[in-house]
Amino acid sequence: MIWLTWRQFRAQALTASGVLAALAVYLLFLGLAIRNSHADLTDCPNVAGCSINVAMSDFKHQYSPFLGLTGALLIAVPAIIGTFWGAPLITRELETGTHRLVWNQSVTRTYWLAVKLVIVALASAVVTGALSLLLTWAASPYDALLGDRFNAFSFATRNIAPLGYAVFAFILGTTVGLIVRRTLPAMAITLAVFATFQILVPAVVRPHVIPPVTEQVAFTTEALQQADGLGISDGAVQLVGYTVPGAWVLSNTILRNAAGERISRGDLEDCMRGNLRRDAECLEAKNLHFTVSYQPADRYWTFQWLELAVFLLLAGLLAGFAFWRIPRGVN
C-alpha cells in the first residue's frame, strides 16, 4: 500500500518539492538581505546625518511587500493542500473504481485509508512546516523591529501554527470527499469550510482562548507616545492605536476622569494650544485614565501551541469519523 500510495501521490509530491526548493532559495536571499539592511539600521545612530525614524520607515517599506507576498502564499498553502490533495484522495478512487481492486485483495479498508492519510498528512506537514520555518527565519529581524507577532497575518504564517492548519485542511478535504463522493463539490466545500475557519479563528476565537489581562492605566505623556493620537468615537475621547510592547491590545482605550466618567472633546479644548509638549503636560494634569485589555507578549508561544493542538485535535476527530465511515458508507 505504501508503494501504491506513493505512485498515486508522487506527481503532487515532486511538484511540491520543486516549489518548496524555489521558495527556499528566494527566502534565503530575502533573509540575508533583511539582515544586511537591519545591520545598517542598527549603525544608523552612529552615522552622521542618518535619521533613525526615516531609516526605520524605509526598512519597513522596503521589505513589507516581499514578506506580505510570501506570507499570503503560505496562508494559501493549507487551503491548496486541502483542496487538491485532500478532497480528491478518496473521490478519485471512487469515481474511477480503483478502490475495488485494492479492497478485493488482502488489504482492509481501514489499512488502505490509514496509509493514505499518514503519508499525505506527513507530506502536508513537512511542506508547510518547512515554508513556515524559512519565512520565520527570513522575517525575524523585521518582526523583532515591529514587535507585532500577534498580528493575524503574522501569527498565521510564522512558527508552528501553520503545521496544524495544513494537517487539518488535508484531513478535512479527505473527510468531505468521503461524504460527498464527487471531486469538484468536495474541493469547493473544503475550500469554503477552511476559509471560514481561517476567518473566524483569529477574529472570534483566538482573542478569548486565554482571558486577557485588564488594567487601568494613567493617561500620561508616555502613554500618549505609545498611541497614534487621540480620536472621537460615539462622543467619547479615546487613544487611537495604543500599543503595549509586543502585546496584543484588544480593547478600545476610552479616556475617563477621576470619577470614572467619559470625557468629551470639549473637556480637552483648553489644553489644545498647538504646542505638543505643553498640550501633553496639560492633558496629563487632568488626572485621566483608561482601561486596556491585552494578551501579553510572553503568551505568544502559548497561543502558537494551543492553536497547533486545537487544529490537530480537529484533524484527529475528522480522521476518526473517516475511519468509522469507510467500512459503512462506501461500497
Task: Give 122-153 pLDDT, tens digit per residue.
Answer: 999 999 999 999 999 999 988 888 778 888 88
45-64 confidence digits (pLDDT tens) = 777 777 787 888 888 888 88
Would you place residue 29 in the very low, low, confident or very high pLDDT band (cuts 50, 70, 90)?
A: very high
Pairwise CA distance, residues 168 & 124, whole Å: 10
- The percentage of residues in the chain with a pLDDT greater than 70, rounded to a whole number, is 97
> Any residues with CB less than 8 A from the CB of 317 and at least 6 apart, and which?
none
pLDDT reported for residue 276 = 66
Q: What is the 3-state secondary structure (H, E, C) of 22-85?
A: HHHHHHHHHHHHHHHHHHHHHHHHHCCCCCHHHHHHHHHHHHHHHHHHHHHHHHHHHHHHHHHH
Query: pTM for this structure?
Result: 0.85
Main-chain dihedrals φ then ψ at residue 107, nearest 5 degrees: -80, 125
Q: How many CB atoms lie within 10 A of CB 325?
A: 16
Residue 256's alpha-carbon distances to 35, 226, 230, 259, 266, in angstroms, are: 44, 18, 13, 8, 13
Please give the average per-residue pLDDT across 66-70, as a whole number. Answer: 89
86-113 confidence digits (pLDDT tens) = 888 888 888 777 777 777 777 788 888 8
Beta strands (DSSP E) in 172-235 are 213-218, 229-233
The pLDDT mean for the chain works out to: 85
Q: Do the beta carbons of residue 312 and residue 164 sit within 8 Å? A: yes
Main-chain dihedrals φ then ψ at residue 128, nearest 5 degrees: -70, -40
- Angle formed by the axes of helices 161-180 and 87-96, to 10°? 20
Q: How many CB atoms lie within 10 A of CB 327?
A: 11
pLDDT reported for residue 52 = 80
